[in-house]
Amino acid sequence: MTGKPITQVLNSLSSAGQRSQRRFSRGLDRLITPDRLRNYPLILIIAGSLGLLAATIIRITDPAAHGAYLPDYLAHWTGGRLLWDDSQNLYDPRTQSQVQSEAIGTSVGLSWFVSPPIVAFLYAPLALIPYNVSGLVWLVLSSALLVWCILCLATLAPKLMNHKRKLVIFAVLAAPPTFELLGSGQDSAVVLLLWLIGIRLFQTSHPLWAGAVLGLGFAKPQLVLVIPLVLLATRNYKALAAFSAVIAAVSGVSLGLVGLEGLGQWTGALSSPLYMTEVQQGQAWKMVGLPSFIQALLPPAWGAGIAPLLTAASLPIGAAVLLLSILRLRNTGMDGQSVWIATLATTVTFSPHLATYDAVLFIPVVIFLLERRPTRFLRVATVLAFALMWMVAPLHVAALSQPWPLSILDAPWSALPLAAIWLESVRALRPGRLGVVSQDADSSNPSEGTTLTDVPPVKADRQQAGE
């Protein structure tokens, strides 16, 4: 007799929670209207561009006080410079620090080059130019690559790009990863472009070229490690052979550049206590992947011990979920594009090292899903991820001197909505999920106008994965 009232109370609380959640999501969803999507991103673009320009001028004029401008590009430039001058010490922090101080003209914080040797080879021509000039050249090249990537989105979401092109462009340019990419001088736009070209080549039935192009993404190994597993699961052996051949060629070039000892120094740097302390833990607040979020929630003493485990196990766990889904649905007619979008989403969600600038790889995932399955859940998750990434710096400052557990304010909370987007990409693998909108997808208040995703969804292709 006493169980019934308790059950009723629990059901009432659950219903109240669901109603509150629905009200919150509806209220947030109504904010996603064309007018707001034109105005707010435009304000962010203008403010962000001015801030980026001011930071660049300050860093160029007074690097001793504010550090080098394009600090991540400085690391790549240093790798290229050392290939010319002292390749035996390519990964030595002291040697790199000396080279950077000479290039900037004053002592600056170390921007540690820990990329594969092939990356140093690619940046070697730019390292022949004085750093300040070379940085400007790279900024122009990186901006051009980013524009190219935005134009390539039309292959994933043709109707969305045709009907809402300006809104999409504004949203991408106003995204925090875009400013972080350009402001730090990172090369994530290169990897993004390789993914977009590879997906397009799969779509047009060129598996050999697709595998070869994706193999070039080995410049950031953690962002392509899942690819060969998916090629094997989808029985795309031609693409797998091309991917493996490119990886072998890249490894051969790296071996020729630095030898076995140099490759050992590279792997040693990635597994060193200095890397774990200064990068994986010290820069965790800049990360947006699930492993970094979990680590940020733990007490500092625990975080130091569990960081190696998260680094080693996170991506295999995500890959296992993806592969099981693919194998279970392999004979049901999966859409080829949805397989690679889910692969990309899994890669970035579970990557042990995914800084804010690498989150540009979420852009094609979001755009693809918004066209194919524009649910309220997806729209709200996208807005939350966008907003939380803009809050990274303020939250970091607020939590900087706070003890645990108050320090978890500094955790990369955007990892949660990004993980929700990943979940949607895995759900989209099921035939019939693409192009099917849930009942609440278009239930926004009519007085608020249409949303970004109010575009007729395209019919899902039934092209087999990897064809």
Task: Tell me the whole-structure pTM to 2 decimals.
Answer: 0.83
> What's the rounded Cα separation, in Å, for the pair 347 and 289?
10
Q: Which amino acid is present at 168?
A: V
* Pair of tokens at residue 133: 């000039």
Please state whether the peptide bond connecting residue 177 to the residue before it is cis, i.e. omega within 30 degrees of 0. Answer: no
CB 424 within 8 A of CB 409: no
| The predicted structure's pLDDT at residue 449 | 38
Q: How many residues does the chain have?
A: 467
CB 125 within 8 A of CB 80: yes
111: alpha, beta or left? (left if phi > 0; alpha if psi -120 to 50): beta
Q: Environment class of residue 273 by beta-carbon count within 10 Å: exposed (0-12), middle (13-18) or buried (19+)?
A: exposed
Whole-number Cα distances in Å, 460 to 206, 233, 341, 440 = 20, 21, 14, 20
Mean pLDDT by 10 residues, the chain (467 residues): 52 56 60 64 86 86 83 94 92 92 86 92 95 93 94 92 88 92 92 96 94 92 92 95 95 91 88 74 77 84 73 89 92 86 95 89 95 86 91 84 84 92 93 53 38 44 39
* Pair of tokens at residue 139: 């900024």
Whole-number Cα distances in Å, 139 to 31, 73, 347 = 33, 9, 26
Q: Which residue in 321, 313, 275, 279 sits closest to 294, CA to CA?
A: 313
* Pair of tokens at residue 216: 């070039």
CB 154 within 8 A of CB 39: no
CB 296 within 8 A of CB 401: no
Whole-number Cα distances in Å, 4 to 1, 7, 152, 322 = 6, 5, 58, 41
> What's the rounded Cα separation, in Å, for the pair 247 and 219?
10
Chain segment 161-182, per-residue pLDDT in tens? 998 888 889 889 999 999 999 9
Which residue has 């970094």 as its token pair?
292
| The predicted structure's pLDDT at residue 248 | 94
CA angle 46–48–51, rounded 5-degree value? 110
> What's the rounded Cα separation, in Å, for the pair 407 and 264?
36
Contacts of 358 (CB under 8 A, 6+ apart): 177, 186, 188, 191, 220, 223, 288, 348, 351
| The predicted structure's pLDDT at residue 437 | 43
Helix (H) or strand (E) holding 338: helix 336-349
Q: How far apart are the first and last CA of the chain?
A: 61
Q: Which residue in 361, 309, 73 sits closest to 198, CA to CA?
A: 361
Give 3-state DSSP helix, strand, coil % of the chain, rounded to 5: 75, 0, 25
Chain segment 288-305, per-residue pLDDT in tens? 888 888 888 888 777 667
* Pair of tokens at residue 20: 């509150």
User: 245-248: long-range contacts at Cβ-Cβ below 8 A with a sequence spacing of 24 or more?
Assistant: 245/212, 245/215, 246/211, 246/212, 246/215, 246/216, 246/218, 247/215, 247/218
| The predicted structure's pLDDT at residue 1 | 47
| DSSP string covering 341-399 | HHHHHHHHHS-SS-BGGGGGGHHHHHHHHHHH---HHHHHHHHHHHHHHHTHHHHHHHH
CB 451 within 8 A of CB 32: yes
Helix (H) or strand (E) holding 56: helix 34-61
Whole-number Cα distances in Å, 184 to 141, 277, 398 = 14, 21, 22
Is residue 226 helix, strand or coil? Answer: coil
* Pair of tokens at residue 299: 């007490």
CB 425 within 8 A of CB 342: yes
- What is the DSSP-derived secondary structure letter of residue 234? T
